[in-house]
Amino acid sequence: MPQLTKVHLEPNNFEKMRSSYAFQIFSSQSVRGIQQYRGRIEARCGNVEPTQKFFRMTSNQTRQWQPKHAQPSLVEVASQAGSRAHQLQGRAHSLEDVGLAHVAQLAWGVHQTAVLEKGLKSVADAVKEWCEIGRRQEARLQRLEENLSPLATLASTVVLLPQQPMPGQQPPQPSQ
């Protein structure tokens, strides 16, 4: 079960800087908690499927933003930057379209519960911030791709320079 506390729903300025709280809100435990209390939630708010889908999508996105693998070479980064930027752009748009609209609808349906309203507002704020992070990541990846494409071309080109003799040495004679 998710262990959401007042810190998650009403963070102070220092707690807002801790991304771990946002990741805990959108964890798979929260999806299981929504499933367990499905009857009560649906009685107040309606269908919970879009919320669960939104939480799963957000959880998957946060896992992609936290790579746990070794850093790839510059040439690999340059070749993969375009597709990764496209993925991030698509996810940022889906977060805006699906997530914020659903959170707003959910908040409107349960306006009598002040704590839940505050929680949903903090979730909506977190989603907006994540969308902005996705846009910044996309821009960084595009700049990286632009900067690394000459390096990738250079790395794939092998140049052989003629051997020059050192001062005072005889140039090598071609063998016959």
Residue 81 falls within a domain, yes or no? yes
Residue 82 falls within a domain, yes or no? yes
Residue 176 falls within a domain, yes or no? no
Q: Average of pLDDT values for 22-40?
A: 81
Whether pTM exceeds 0.75: no
Under the banding of pLDDT at 50, 70 and 90, the label for residue 74 is very low
Q: Model confidence over 137-156: pLDDT tens digits? A: 888 877 777 776 666 666 55
* Stronger pLDDT, 154 or 39, i.e. the higher one: 39
Are 115 and 6 in contact, with CB atoms under 8 Å apart?
no
Residue 2 falls within a domain, yes or no? no
Range of the domain at 17: 12-63+73-151
Indicate left, alpha or beta for 158 from its phi (over 0: left) and psi (-120 to 50: alpha): beta
Residue 123 phi/psi, 5-degree rounding, is -65, -45
- pLDDT confidence of residue 116: 55
Q: Average of pLDDT values for 47-72?
A: 70
Q: What is the mean pLDDT of the chain?
A: 69
- With a CB cutoff of 8 Å and minimum separation 6, the contacts of 55 are 26, 30, 31, 34
Residue 54 falls within a domain, yes or no? yes
- pLDDT confidence of residue 153: 63
* Stronger pLDDT, 163 or 18, i.e. the higher one: 18
pLDDT for 37 beyond 80: yes
Q: DSSP strand E in the chain: where?
A: none
Domain tally, the chain: 1
Residue 77 falls within a domain, yes or no? yes
- pLDDT confidence of residue 69: 47
Q: Which of 40, 138, 131, 59 is CA-nearest to residue 93?
A: 131
Instruction: Round to whole Å and give the CA distance between 176 and 166.
Output: 23
Residue 5 falls within a domain, yes or no? no
